Structure 1
Amino acid sequence: MLCGIDEAGRGPIAGPLVVAGAILLEDIKGLNDSKVLSEKKREKLYEEIIEKSKYHIVFSNADLIDEKGISYCLKNSILEIMENLNEFCKEFLMDGNTSFGISTLQHKIKADATIKEVSAASILAKVSRDRFMNEISSKYPNYDFEKHKGYGTKAHIEAIKKFGRSDIHRVSFKLKALGEENIGVQKSLF
C-alpha cells in the first residue's frame, strides 16, 4: 500500500501549513489535485476520504513557521505522518520535487493530479486548512480570512497596511508591497 502526502498553505502570509498523508482502503471516484476541484466537490470528497482511508493531518502554526522555517515544518510534518502511518504501509510518496532529505520518501512532480493517494492527501490538507481559516475569520474580522484563506491578495495586503499583522500572520514572510525585504539567509533543514 502507498501513502500519498501533500501540503496546503506553503505560500500564504497568514495561517498554518497543513500536511496530510492518506492510504486509501477503498477506491474513490473523482480524486484530483485539490486546486482544480470546486470547493463543493472537495468537501464531498473529503468526507469520503475520511471514511475510506487511514490518514494523518499535521498543522504547523505561524509561530513555528517563523521560528523554524517552512522547510523545517514540512520535513517534521512528513516525518510525523510517516511515523503515524508506517504500520499500514512502507511506501510514501510526496507531491513535488524534493524528499526533504528523508531517504525513505519518494517524490514526484504533479503527483497530486496523477496518483490517487496523493490526490486524497491534497484534498485532506486543503479542506482542513480552508475550514480552519473559515473558523478563525470571525476572530479576525479585519482580514476577511474566509475570502482569501491567508494568501497575499490585494485586499489582504491592504488590510495589513491598515491594521498591521495579527498573531496568525507569518512575520518571517516579507512583503514587497509593504516595502519589506528578506534580510539574512533562509533557514535550511539540511
Structure 2
Amino acid sequence: MPRPNVPLLSREQIAAAALSQIDETGALSLPRLAATLNVSVSSIYHHFAKGREEVIEGIRALLTREITEPLDQNLSWREYTEQWAHRYRSAFARHPHAVPLLTLQTVSSPEAVASYDALAKVLRQAGFAAEDLLHVVSVLDCFILGSALDASAPLDVWADSGDPASALSAAITATRAQPGDRSQRSFEVGLRILLAGLADLIR
C-alpha cells in the first residue's frame, strides 16, 4: 500500500489534542492521547522524540502563538510589558490546568523563548541591569501565571464569616458590589503595583 502524500498527523494537531485532554482531565496521558488521535503511541514519538516533555513544550508553543503578534518596539517598557502581560494572562487563563505542567520543566519551545527574549530586550534597553533582568522576567512570569490560575478560582475565594468586625468580611462585601470580574481587577491592581516597583531597578 503506497504511503500517503500528506502526513496523518502534525505536531500542531498532537499538541492541540493534548491541550484538549489537559483541559478536560487536568493531566496528560500519551496512551490516552494516542487513542484519541486513533494512532499508536509510537506515532506520537515520531513527532515528539522526547515524548511527554516535548509534547508539553508543543502546548507551550501553541499557547505562545496566541500572544506573539508583534508589539510596537517603540512603546515604553511599561506599556510594552503591560500589553505583553495582558496577552500572556489571557492565553493561559483559558487553559488553567496546563499551567502546573508548564511550570515543571524548562522553557525550550522556540516560540516561547522568542517571546521572552523580546520582552527582555525591551527591558534591557530601558535600563534594567543584566544581573536583575532574569529576576524581573521571572517575577512577571510568576505573577501572570498565578493570575491565570486565579481566573478559574471560585467567585468567592475566601469564605465570608459575616462578622461585622472582620476586615476581610468587609472587603469581601465591598468586592462583591464591584462590577466586572474580580480576578481581572486583581490582576490590574497587581500589575500596576508590580510595574511601579520594578521601575526602581532601572539604572
TM-score (norm 1): 0.29
User: More helix by proportion, 1 or 2?
Assistant: 2
Point out the structure with max Rg over C-alpha: 2
Higher normalized contact order (CA 8 Å, seq sep 6+, divided by chain length): 1
TM-score (norm 2): 0.27
